[in-house]
Structure 1
Amino acid sequence: MTVWSARKKAARRPDSSARGGADATPTPAVETSLAPTTGWLVRGKDGRLTAYAPSEDAVLRWTETRPGGPEWTGPDVLEAPGLLPYLSIAQGDDGYVHLVGLRRKPLPDGRMNTEVVYALQYQSGLGLRDWYAVGSPYPNDPALSAQIGPPGAVVDGEGSLHVFVRNVGGGVCGRAQTPNGKWNKWADHKGSGGIGAVHSALTDSGLVEFVLPTADRVMRWEQETVGVKFVRADDVPAKAQADSPAAVRTGEGRLSWFWHSAVDGTVDGWRPSMSSPITLGSGTGTGPVALLRTRVDGHDCTILAHRDTATGRPALAAYPTEDESRGASWSLTGDPCVGAPALAVDGRGRVVMAAFGVDGSLRVSRQKDEPGLALEAWTQVG
């Protein structure tokens, strides 16, 4: 996810966890050490959409004033001292939103401590709970902790938060809450040669899967039942760009994974019933693939979005769910963006695509009230 400098005219203070400035609007900071993320546009239990972006020592947040918009408030500036410019977002069936990232803080001896942290938002537009330290697989070695990858996060079928990080050997370590809210110890899920961040997702039966690309394959882990240990599944024979994988539920107990090919930048789709990934259209992109499954004109469709390689503009595609043989045609939309776009369904049932412009403003486009997947003109939120 893109970093923003937290400068805002009359920034709103919803509670003690937000702070306001009085200078300019938020603008992108030059930060390329951590990759962008998607999934930052979330619909709350009250039907309102919220957009999140990490900033310097803070998280910026925009919230619809009512379900379906079009008005928004924000950005609210939610303090997060030491937070690095990366944010993984997970939402449970209860609607609560978990913000997960990495924090660096100086130790008494002058070294820097790196640890996974998370904060919880119960309701749209309200303040965050305090940032809680989940720690590191290397609690006694700051030098090793500094080498872990950005966290992936998912809430399982029991409502427990799981966090995963790439460890120093290129495998995966994870830590999870128990149903009563306490945290288990860090577990080593093995693996080697991994690059980028771990990406996790949840099936409709509440089972967690996660993947981590290597130079020539995609490592994958899964659960047999809720609450049990993860097992290493067969590797996927694919060269995927680091930080690009994402998954969406496409059938009973099934996830379909998508990523950008490390060979030519096209989007590849895969699920366990496939012997090898299938390329979806000729469009090429960078960063993670935004995903959404919804009905369009009564048809079950999978919608994809990414940042186009050549133009830097958002691009959108759709096809009948699990019918990759039908292909997908990519259409450019809007102005050049930074980071990765996000997709959601708003409180009125419309597909919404959001992206951050190169000027730092949040841009939003909604599905037109007509047949098909045509989008309205983009509007600038803040």
Structure 2
Amino acid sequence: MRRRSAGPVGTSGPDGRGTADQGRVASGAAHGDWLTLGKDRRLTLYAPTEGGLLRWTETAVGGPGWSGPHFVPVAGLTHLTVARGADSYVHFLGRRERTAADGTPGVDVVHAIQYQTGLAVTDWRSLGNPHQDREQAGKLGPPVGAIASDGTVHVFVRGAHGGLMLRREAPNGKWRAWEDLHGAGLDALPAPVALAGGRIEICAAAETGVLIWRQTAPGGDFSGPRGFSLRPAPGTVAAVETGPDRPTFFWTDTESGGAAAWRAGGSPTALGASPAVRPYAVLRTSLDGYDCVALAYRDRDGSAVLGMGGTENESAGFWWYGLSEPCQGAPALARDGRDRVVMALIGPDGVPKVARQEDGAGLSLGGWQRL
């Protein structure tokens, strides 16, 4: 992928880092990797707000200090997804609604990039809408993204007819036309995963069960959808690579009401816990020398829950901890520059909170820090 110009947004401050605005609060949680680790090993947290997005950045590796919020304006933004590439570039995907000069509404997908921690966000570029008809265009779902290991950006969105649409970069850095990957009755938030070998897979809850698309080779076409008679709750599916070129998908099972883990070729493994109402945050990490997966979600009472278990060893047990911390949307998980697990959430008042892994066995979080 060719590197684009990293011009700042129009209302950035004189240092190009955004406009500091202590009066703004988040309007909810973004989708995807909204807590990310940069090349310089500092974390950054992103959240949507009225008229754009907010950004908080660690002032030193491992914290505890943070700068921000810095406001990045994006007029008309209705949904925000954050996707981090293997190169640590942070990609922003938004669904935007605007009113044309003649008064007619318009919907498009927009994209921007932050190349370096705490520095400017590029200009927002419209990726258009796969539908020409205005009524159909208005039914476009929120975009989700996956960044291939070579840096190629893939944008997936549920179309007006309930199928999956794709727009992605070409090898020369330009954008290809929208592609129809078909399917029907999809949930609004399909779950793509970029695998280390270069391929991308997508899992989506659908009215008929689960649909899977697999990229045939890095940069290649997508096969599918292949259907499976499984019952994930809409809006809860998440994915992470747990083995070489092999993803595991997590969701809330509609029959049991608890979390489940599934890999193609097998049966779902029940993980217990209460039902999630948003996609799970998923992080693969090392705990006490063991390869583990950590999950976090918002339960029906609006509180955050944290869980952990062995990677691809879910049947050995999953351990859950109710945190008694209310939150908006789904929490986020990441590792900081000292390889500690960090959990972030957006409080009911729109203020983010973070908690870090404490020293000792297992996964225990310290006190919550308001940013």
- TM normalised by structure 1 equals 0.90
Which amino acid is the alignment partner of residue 53 of structure 2? V
Q: 2:92 aligns with which of 90, 93, 99?
A: 99
1:295 alignment partner in structure 2:
286
Aligned amino acid, residue 360 of structure 1: G
Match of 1:43 in 2: 37
Are 1:189 and 2:181 matched, yes or no? Answer: yes
Residue 216 of structure 1 deviates from its aligned partner by 3.5
Q: 1:357 aligns with which of 347, 364, 371?
A: 347
- Residue 228 of structure 2: aligned partner: 236
* Residue of 48, 57, 61 corresponding to 1:54: 48
* 2:172 equivalent to 1:180: yes
How far 1:107 moved relative to its partner?
1.8
The offset of 1:90, in angstroms, is 1.4
- What per-residue deviation string (whole Å, max 9, x for no partner) do you get for residues 50-78 of structure 1? 11111112111111111110100111110
Deviating more after overlay: 116-125 vs 101-110:
101-110
Counterpart contact for 1:120–1:128, Cα < 8 Å: yes
Q: Amino acid of the residue matched to residue 77 of structure 2? A: L
Residues 287 and 363, structure 2, Cα contact 8 Å, conserved in 1: yes
Alignment-derived partner of residue 306 in structure 1: 297
Stretches (4+) displaced over 6 A: none
Question: Which residue of 2 is the match for residue 9 of structure 1?
Answer: none
State the shift of 1:309 in Å.
Answer: 2.1
Shift, 1:20, TM fit: 4.8
C-alpha separation in 2, matches of 1:79 and 1:265: 39
Which residue of the partner structure matches residue 3 of structure 2?
Answer: none
1:213-255 CA distances to partner (integer Å, 9 max, x unpaired)? 1124011101121111100053232222222111111001100
Shift of 1:79: 0.7
**Matching residue of 2:18:** 18
In structure 2, the partner of 1:119 is 112
Contact 2:19/2:72 (8 A) holds in 1: yes
Q: Partner residue of 2:149?
A: 157
Look up the match of 1:3: none
Structure 1 residue runs of 5 or longer lacking an equivalent are 1-11, 30-34
1:248 maps to 240
Task: Give me the whole-angstrom Cα distance separating, in 2, the residues matched to 1:330 and 1:108.
Answer: 52
Gaps of 5+ in 2: 1-11
Q: Please name the residue that 1:90 is paired with.
A: 83
Partners in 2 of 1:202 and 1:27 — Cα distance?
28
What does the per-residue CA deviation read over 1:314-336, in whole Å, with 9 as the maximum and x for residues that have no partner?
A: 11111111011112121111521
Counterpart amino acid of residue 173 in structure 1: M
Match of 1:134 among 124, 127, 132: 127
Contact 1:248 1:291 (C-alpha < 8 Å) held by counterparts: yes
Q: Comparing 56-65 with 13-22, which one deviates more in the overlay?
A: 13-22
Q: Is the 8 A contact 2:26 2:49 kept in 1?
A: no
State the secondary structure of the residue aligned to 2:328: strand
User: Any conservation in 1 of the 2:27–2:47 contact (CA below 8 Å)?
Assistant: no
Contact 1:61 1:76 in 2 (8 A): yes
Query: How far, CA to CA, are the matches of 1:182 and 1:68 in structure 2?
Result: 37
| Structure-2 residue corresponding to 1:374 | 364
Match of 1:206 in 2: 198
Q: Say whether the 8 Å CA contact 1:14–1:126 is kept in structure 2.
A: no
CA deviation string 1:264-295 (max 9, x = no partner): 53111111131x32211233221010101111
CA 1:335–1:74 in 2, change beyond 3 Å: closer, same or farther?
same
Instruction: Report which of the two has the higher share of strand.
Output: 2
Structure 1 position 285 matched with structure 2 position 279:
no
- Conserved 8 A contact 1:151-1:198: no
What is the CA RMSD across the aligned residues, in angstroms? 1.9
Q: Which moved more, 1:196-205 or 1:260-269?
A: 260-269
8 A Cα contact 1:211 1:220, kept in partner: yes
Cα 1:303–1:60 shift into 2, 3 Å: same
Contact 1:115 1:133 survives alignment (8 Å)? yes
- Equivalent residue letter for 2:197: S
CA distance in 1, matches of 2:300, 2:319: 15
- 1:115, CA displacement in angstroms? 0.6
Preserved CA contact (<8 Å) 1:217 1:236 = yes
| Partner deviation per Cα, 1:11-36 (whole Å, 9 max, x = no partner) | x94656734557x451547xxxxx96
1:262-341 to 2 correspondence within 5 Å? Answer: 262-274=254-266, 276-310=267-301, 312-341=302-331
Identity of paired residues, percent?
40
Code of the residue aligned with 2:144 in structure 1: it is G
Structure 2 counterpart of 1:228, which letter? G
In structure 1, distance between residues paired with 2:330 and 2:340: 20
Q: Post-superposition shift, 1:112?
A: 1.1
Q: Return the alpha-carbon distance in structure 2 between the equivalents of residues 338 and 224 of structure 1.
A: 37
Distance change in 2, residues 1:112/1:297 (3 Å): same
Does the residue aligned with 1:87 lie in a helix, a strand or coil?
strand
Which residue identity does 1:351 align to in structure 2?
Answer: V
Counterpart Cα distance in 2 of 1:227 and 1:297:
37
